[in-house]
Amino acid sequence: MQEKQEKTGLVWFRNNLRVNDNSSLKKATENHKNIIAIYFFDPKYFKIDEFGFQKTAKFRAKFLIETITDLQKNLSDINITLLTYFDAPEDKIHTICSQFSIDSIYTQKEWTKEEVDTNNLIKNTIPENVSFIEDYDQFLYHPNTVVTDFSKIPNVFTQFRKKLEKKVEIQELNTIQKLSDTNLIENNTKIPTLTEIGFQNFEENKKTAFPFSGGENSALERLNNYFFETKKVAFYKKPRNGLVGTDYSTKFSAWLANGSISAKTIYWKIKEFEAEFGANQSTYWVIFELIWRDYFKYISLKYHSKIFKIGGILEKEYHWNSDSETIQKWIDGKTEDDFVNANMIELKETGWMSNRGRQNVASYFAKELLQDWRIGAAYFESLLIDYDVHSNYGNWMYVAGVGNDPRDRKFNTKLQAERYDANYKFRKLWLQKTLF
């Protein structure tokens, strides 16, 4: 290991909001005796987008504040101070570099346009002798082990999955050593409240299927509960298309989305469970879903900004509408389809929707109502607690027929309701004022 430097390393947290299995944190601790961490509640992520939606609405904002509060505590436990700002990184990092004699910035590798633009602005303001060190830290299969040319990523998921499962190993977890308490510094910054970001405080809807709080500790608690306390992971595959309750699915997605837990942590915990209790289709299927998550990230790496274009990665020229009245009825759960309505009301009231629900309402929006699928994707971005740019736009392209579905399917929402909500339990839960 190289000799530690006297200069200070800055760990800039983005969507890697955890202490465990964090490669940026590991690299910083290996190369510096002095480390400071920083997180920005970037105002541009709370602004109104081109379709009229707030990019981050109240549900994800609340979850984020809980996450950063947790992160600050966990970093303090290993003697690292987390500075927090409600400010743009490009307006602040150069000052931090000067104030604390920073010689290296460690951060998660991002590649979508907004994040890359922010990186470039930062690089233009920091001194030339400050290293900007990035690492892909949001994958199950690290890109360095998968491919050197992203253009060679297959356009069909099954081909991608089979090749990875056959040839690529999952890396071990990154472990972080506790620093000396002399590393802690005085912290005059504060984590903003919901009202300081611009929201009103709100009570969680008691009917929500996602009653969990943000943060690494909550993620690990859920992981342990789902795997070892209840052993529900052994039965995951059958109820995964459920609609009601906390345990029809793992519910890991929100913590994965902001990096409170890594995909590798979940993978190795599955392997631990399988070693003790045996492997089956359900334990494999959780890994299968993690590979899907990776796949959309690789598609994003392959096609870059095409995932945000109306023609998608296929550059298809469909005719799309943008009728405000039709769109608002979809948002408000006032379409002609009660299954779609129930799911949309759940989203509006809780910031959560099941995977089955998402596929149905997205297909209905794009292929029944024939509205511009990017508007639906932007609405999901605003509301969903577990919003992940790659999965969100990848899935929306998929159901809209401009992405990775080789069969270009359309969901029959009536048949889907009969299959997955035959007893009307879900629709009664969310439509009782109008239906019953």
The residue from 275, 308, 341 where one domain ends is: 308
Is 113 annotated to bind a ligand? Reply is no
Regarding whether 341 and 422 lie in a shared domain, the answer is yes
DSSP category for residue 19: S
CA distance 347 to 430: 10
Asked if the structure places residue 380 within a domain, the reply is yes
CA distance 277 to 19: 28
The residue from 85, 110, 137 where one domain ends is: 137
Regarding whether 384 and 300 lie in a shared domain, the answer is no
Query: Tokens representing 360?
Result: 């149905």
Regarding whether 303 and 351 lie in a shared domain, the answer is no
Regarding whether 261 and 377 lie in a shared domain, the answer is no
Helix runs in 113-176, H state only: 113-123, 143-146, 157-167
Query: Tokens representing 244?
Result: 């009601």
Q: Which domain holds residue 251?
A: 138-173+216-308
Is 326 annotated to bind a ligand? Reply is no
Is 386 annotated to bind a ligand? Reply is yes
Is 106 annotated to bind a ligand? Reply is no
Regarding whether 133 and 83 lie in a shared domain, the answer is yes
Is 322 annotated to bind a ligand? Reply is no
Regarding whether 359 and 298 lie in a shared domain, the answer is no
Asked if the structure places residue 333 within a domain, the reply is yes
Residues of the chain under the 50 pLDDT cut: 1-5, 434-436
Given a contact cutoff of 8 angstroms between Cβ atoms, the answer to whether 216 and 66 are in contact is no
pLDDT for position 4:
45
pLDDT for position 144:
94
Regarding whether 368 and 233 lie in a shared domain, the answer is no
pLDDT for position 434:
44
Is 112 annotated to bind a ligand? Reply is no
Regarding whether 399 and 348 lie in a shared domain, the answer is yes
CA distance 320 to 67: 38
CA distance 394 to 396: 6
pLDDT for position 405:
83
CA distance 102 to 12: 12
Domain at 325, CATH number? 1.10.579.10
Asked if the structure places residue 197 within a domain, the reply is no
The residue from 86, 115, 137 where one domain ends is: 137
pLDDT for position 1:
40
Given a contact cutoff of 8 angstroms between Cβ atoms, the answer to whether 103 and 5 are in contact is yes
Regarding whether 148 and 130 lie in a shared domain, the answer is no
Regarding whether 276 and 321 lie in a shared domain, the answer is no
Domain at 16, CATH number? 3.40.50.620
Regarding whether 356 and 272 lie in a shared domain, the answer is no
CA distance 285 to 89: 38
Helix runs in 238-280, H state only: 253-257, 263-277
Asked if the structure places residue 431 within a domain, the reply is yes
> What is the pTM assigned to this prediction?
0.95
Is 308 annotated to bind a ligand? Reply is no
Is 253 annotated to bind a ligand? Reply is yes
Is 408 annotated to bind a ligand? Reply is no
Q: Give the total number of structural domains in the chain.
A: 3
pLDDT for position 436:
38
What residue type is assigned to position 430 of the chain? W
Domain at 290, CATH number? 1.25.40.80
